[in-house]
Amino acid sequence: MGKNKLNKNIVLFAMILIVVFLLYQQITYLYSDYNNNKKTLVFMGNNNIAPIIFEENGTAKGIVVDIAKELGKKIGYKIEIKATEWQEAQNKVLLGEADALLQINPSSEREKLYDFSNELLRMDFSIFKEYGNTDIYTAIDLKDKNVGVESGGYPYYLLTEYDGINIVTISDWNTGFQMIKSGELDAIVADRWIGKYELAQSKVEGIEVLEKPIETQYSRIAIKKGNEELLNLINVGLEELNDDGTMADILSDWQGKKVVYFTEESIQRTFLYAIIIILFLISLISLYGVRRFRALNKKLELDVMERTQELNNANEKLKKTNEDLERISMIDPLTNISNRRYFDSFLQKVWESSIRENLPLSLIMVDIDNFKMYNDSYGHLAGDRCLRNVADVIKNTLKRSGDIVARFGGEEFVVLLSNTTEDGAMVVAEDIRAKTENLGMKNEGLATIITISLGVASVVPDESMYPENIINAADQALYQAKKDGRNRVERVDLLMKNL
């Protein structure tokens, strides 16, 4: 009886396995059939603007390639991305052989041919010149100068708006940078990210990029005019990428790759070459015998010293590059002040120092009043300018090297004042508030001007407290300032008694 029951259980278990296997095959077939039946969109891009988009071993790669792939997931389409010569890419879209162009900036001429999506990627079009050239500081200084641009790129249309510039089309970036070194070109105009990436790849030394860009634009996705259904679909996908944080994740993943990648690669190549040479010399010593050993050994030592020096030089360059990237990672790219990451690190250091020396520490939280309404009235570009203006006011108000301002998030800023009492912090906060009001930036949404609200908190830290305490207290004071009517400064008063 027990044996029959065991046999029945084995048969039942086998039947269950068969059913599970059949269900798995069916699900796999349906999923494959679904993917195979999804409509494919072909997106074209310029293969000469790494790291934005480029071709590697026949495959398109880059920042906007990653964005386009995620866009396809959002809108339910397969997206095939092809990186090719820029003029060819544009012609394929105009001839209907492709659906869209990636990474293109609107211009009056292009708007006759294409419809453009919402904002895709921020582009800072900047001047690259020979280091030490004191004749060029702004776009106005390019008059009567030979300036290189990529064929069919936006910088060409940008420079045509200035009189007297001799625009020269360059075949590739390395050639363009070499032409600056030889004096054939006075400058190159390109997107800052692309130019610095290509400069690192070409390894041309003595070229610098001006800090202030000629123009900041937001690139788009372009489609042939009239296809409103596809345009609306793309815009919906872009909005979802921004709302769920996918866009920010992609940009974060690509931060810092443009310079370090090539520097580390060149170091590895140099080290490999040195090993090959050393092994070759050792083989020669074995073949020619003891009589040649001393001479070859001397040559080996000299070669090793030379390669070691090259490696040391490469390491120094890598160290400097990493220091530059570390500094860049601590700066908010929009306002050019410290970012939240740097503020958190700096606050921890100052907090510990204040405990050791028993000194007061003050913090000011700043928030732009009715900023969303301002953004809705004037658009994101005007909103960006507003954030930069307020950041400049705060930065220029601070007088001591130990005081910092950082972008805390969105339209909110934070000011840290070391060795400063609450009364001193109130004076600084009121000065910032008044100067911001005096900017007179109009806000049509409220028929008034841009103002700020500020919350001040001060404390002499001890071991029982945490840095978060002063942040929370200042934030509560800021909330009170908002509640009491905005455009005002509120000190922490009784809030700090709970620390």
User: What is the rounded average pLDDT for all residues in the chain?
Assistant: 84
pLDDT of the residue at 272: 64
Cα(first)–Cα(last) distance of the chain, in Å?
A: 75
pLDDT digits (tens, 9 = 90+) for 81-122: 999 998 999 999 999 999 999 989 888 888 889 999 999 988
pLDDT digits (tens, 9 = 90+) for 289-334: 667 767 777 877 787 777 777 777 766 666 665 555 555 678 999 9
Report strand pairing: 100-104 vs 40-46.
parallel
pLDDT digits (tens, 9 = 90+) for 369-397: 999 888 888 889 999 999 999 999 999 99
pLDDT of 493 over the 80 cut: no
Of residues 279, 274, 312, 273, the one with CA closest to residue 296: 279
Which residues pair with residue 222 across a beta bridge?
A: 101, 116
How open is the CA angle 455-392-482, to the nearest 5 degrees?
A: 25
8 A C-beta contact, residue 148 and residue 179? yes
Would you mind telling me the total number of residues written for the chain in this entry? 499
pLDDT of the residue at 34: 44
Which single residue is written with the structure tokens 């806000």? 443
Please tell me the number of Cα atoms within 13 Å of 80 on its side-chain side.
Answer: 11
Please tell me the number of Cα atoms within 13 Å of 8 on its side-chain side.
Answer: 5
Averaging pLDDT over each range in 17-31, 436-450, 465-479, which range is the top one?
A: 465-479
8 A C-beta contact, residue 44 and residue 53? no
Helix (H, G, I), strand (E, B) or coil at 368: strand
Q: Take residue 376 and report the two structure tokens written for it.
A: 């809705």
**In terms of C-beta density within 10 A (0-12 exposed, 13-18 middle, 19 or more buried), how is residue 84 classed?**
middle
pLDDT of 32 over the 60 cut: no
Annotation: CATH topology of 340-498 = Alpha-Beta Plaits (3.30.70)
The CA–CA distances, whole Å, from 234 to 57, 76, 132, 240 equal 28, 11, 45, 10
The CA–CA distances, whole Å, from 143 to 124, 128, 168, 404 equal 20, 15, 13, 39
Strands across the sheet containing 53-56:
48-49, 53-56, 59-61
What gap in Å lies between CA 453 and CA 111, rounded to an integer?
Answer: 42
Which single residue is written with the structure tokens 């009517």? 485
- pLDDT confidence tier of residue 24, bands split at 50, 70 and 90: low
What gap in Å lies between CA 212 and CA 388, rounded to an integer?
Answer: 13
- Percentage of the residues of the chain whose pLDDT score is greater than 90: 47
For the chain, what is the largest distance between any 2 Cα atoms, rounded to a whole number of angstroms?
104
pLDDT of the residue at 376: 86
Average pLDDT over residues 180-194: 90
pLDDT digits (tens, 9 = 90+) for 39-96: 889 999 998 787 889 888 889 988 899 999 999 998 889 999 999 998 999 999 999 9
Q: Take residue 448 and report the two structure tokens written for it.
A: 């008034």
Please tell me the CATH superfamily of domain 121-218, with its number: Periplasmic binding protein-like II (3.40.190.10)
Average pLDDT over residues 334-341: 94
- pLDDT confidence tier of residue 19, bands split at 50, 70 and 90: confident
8 A C-beta contact, residue 162 and residue 185? no
Please tell me the CATH superfamily of domain 40-119+220-258, with its number: Periplasmic binding protein-like II (3.40.190.10)
Element (H, E) at 452: strand 452-459
- pLDDT confidence tier of residue 262, bands split at 50, 70 and 90: very low
8 A C-beta contact, residue 400 and residue 446? no
pLDDT of the residue at 54: 85
pLDDT digits (tens, 9 = 90+) for 197-253: 888 877 888 999 998 898 888 889 999 998 899 999 999 999 999 999 998 888 888
- Whole-structure pTM value: 0.42
What long-range pairs does 199-202 form, CB within 8 A, spacing at least 24? 199/128, 199/173, 200/258, 200/259, 200/262, 200/263, 201/50, 201/173, 201/174, 201/262, 202/173, 202/174, 202/177, 202/178
What gap in Å lies between CA 180 and CA 185, rounded to an integer?
Answer: 5
What gap in Å lies between CA 243 and CA 237, rounded to an integer?
Answer: 10
- pLDDT confidence tier of residue 264, bands split at 50, 70 and 90: very low
Main-chain phi, psi angles of 269, to 5 degrees: -65, -45
Q: Which residue has the higher pLDDT, 297 or 434?
A: 434
What gap in Å lies between CA 100 and CA 92, rounded to an integer?
Answer: 9
